[in-house]
A and B are shown apart, each in its own frame.
Chain A
Amino acid sequence: MLFELRDVSLSRGDRLVLDSVSAEIHEGATAIVGPSGSGKSTLLRLLNRLADPDAGTISYQGRALVDHDPLKLRREVSLVPQLPSLLEGTVASNLAYAADLAGQRLDASRCLHLAGLDDGFPERDVSKLSVGEQQRVMLARALAQQPRVLLLDEPTSALDHDARDAIEATLAGLRGELELSLIVVSHDPEQARRLADRAVRLKRGRVAAWGPLAEALA
C-alpha cells in the first residue's frame, strides 16, 4: 500500500474542506474524483506535504508522513499542479533544475519523449509555449526527478479535447514504460475510468466510496 489515510480533516478558515477522510491508496493508478469543491486537490496536496492535516494521520509506505523528510518525500512523490507554473528560462533549464534537486542524472530527451514532446523543445523559452505544451513540460520536469509516485491535479482541465486525449494517451504510456504509480485528481468519472484501476470518490469533503473502480464509481 502506498498511502493510508485515517480520519483526516482539514479546515480553511471556517470551512471544513476534508472531513474525517479515511481511505487506502495502492500502487498502480488511482483516481481521486468528485465535484468541484469536494476537497480533491486539497487531499492531493496532503500526500506530498504541501500542507498538513489539522487532524488524523496519513502514512506513506507504512510510515507516518510527518516522519518523512518533506524535501525527500516531494522528490519521490512528485506533484504536477493543475495550472502550469514553470521557472523562467528554457525547457532544458527547468528539467535540469528538477533533476538536480532529486540528485538524478538528466536524460532530457527521454523525459520529453515520455511527456509527448520532441527533441526540438529543450532550448525553447517556456514563456513562448502554449498551455498544453507547458503542461507537458511540467510532466517532463516531474519525470526528470524519476519519482515513484506522480500526483496529477486535473492534468487536462486547461486543455481542449484533442490535447486532453493526447495527455491521457501519454499517461497511459507512462504506466507501460515506467514503474510508476499515478494518483490523478479529476472531476470527470469517465476520465477516471480511462486512466485508473482504483478510485477514491469524495463528496463535500467526505469519502463517498473507495476501492476498485467498479465499486468506487458505482
Chain B
Amino acid sequence: MTTSIDVSLGQVVASLALVALAVAISFWRRTDLEGDIAVAAARSFVQLTAIGYAIKLIFEADTFWLVLTLLSVMVLFGAFTARSRANKVPGAFWPLLIGLAIAAASTLGLVVALGIFEPTPRYLVPVGGMVIGNAMTASAVALNRLGDEVADSRAGIEATLALGATAREAVAPFVRRALRSGTIALIDSTKTTGLIFFPGTMVGMLLAGAEPTDAVRLQLILLYALLGSTAIAALVATGLAYRNFFTPAQQLRDLH
C-alpha cells in the first residue's frame, strides 16, 4: 500500500464547477442555501489545507506527542460541535468529551494492540480522525434524541420515579432509544456498503491506484473500528449525560 497520486491545485479549482452547480440549483429552486454552500466550500478548503500541512509536519516529525496533541484537539472540537446538537441536555459537554476521548483511545489502542496498524503517525492520525468524526456524529445524534425523549416524557419518567425507581431505571427506555438512534445510521450504512455506495477510504485508495483487494480490506478494518467506536462514544455519552437531568435526590430537574 505505497501508492501515491499527484493532485494539482488546478484540478481542485476545476472541481468547484460542481459547487457552482449546487449553488445554481439552490438559487433556481429558492432553497436559500447558496450562502451555506459557499461557506461550506470555503471552510472545507481552508480547514483541509491547514490540516494537510499540519499532518505533513506531524508525519515528518514522527513523534507520538504531536499525534496525541492533534487527536486531543480533534476530541475537544468534536465535543464542542456535538454539544450544539444536544442543546436540550444540560451539561452535555463533559459527557461528550469523555465519550469521544474513551472511544478514540480504546479504538486506537485496540487496533494497535491487535497488530492491525503500526503505532505511527501515518496510521494513527487519519484513523483517529475518522474514529473521532464518526463518534462525534453518533454521540451528538444520541444526546439529541435523549434530550427530545426526556422533554417529551417527563410525566412518564416522574410516574416511574414516584414508584421508587432510581433515575437510571426511570430513564432506561429513553437511554436505550437514544443509543439506538446514535448507532443505527452507521450500522445501516455498513450493511449496504458495496451495494449502494462505496465508502470514502476505499474510493480514495482505488483512485490512488491501490489494489482493489487491499482497498477493500482496509475499508473493512475501518468500518469495523468505526462500529466499535461509535457504540462506545454513544454509550459513554448517554450513560453520563442522563444523570444531568436529575438531582442527587433522584428528582427530575425543572429545566424551564
Contact = CB atoms under 8 A, between A and B. Distances in A.
Contact of B163 (A52, A66, A145): A145
A173 B59 CA distance: 80
A30 to B, nearest CB: 18
A44 to B, nearest CB: 10
Contacts of A78: 162-164
Task: Give the most central of B155, B164, B254, B256: most A CB within 10 Å.
Answer: B164
B165 interface: yes
A70 B248 CA distance: 10
Given A81-B158, A85-B155, A75 B164 contact: yes
A9 to B, nearest CB: 15
B162 A71 contact: no
Contacts of B158: 50, 81, 85
Contacts of B164: 71-75, 78, 101-102, 145
A102 B162 CA distance: 12
Given A13-B256, A81-B155, A101-B165, A87 B251 contact: no
B166 A83 contact: no
A128 interface: no
- In this complex, the interface size class of chain B, counting residues with CB under 8 Å from chain A, is 20 to 34
Interface residues of A, number: 31
Contacts of A88: 173
A48 interface: yes
Q: Which are the 5 A-B pairs with shortest beta-carbon distances?
A: A75-B164, A74-B164, A85-B159, A79-B162, A85-B156
Interface of B: 155-156, 158-166, 169, 173, 247, 249-252, 254, 256
Interface of A: 12-13, 48-52, 66, 70-75, 78-81, 83, 85-88, 97-98, 101-102, 138, 141-142, 145
Given A12-B256, A70-B250, A87-B156, 20 more contacts: A12-B254, A48-B162, A49-B249, A52-B251, A70-B251, A71-B165, A74-B161, A74-B163, A75-B164, A78-B162, A79-B162, A81-B158, A81-B162, A83-B155, A85-B156, A87-B173, A88-B173, A97-B163, A101-B165, A141-B163
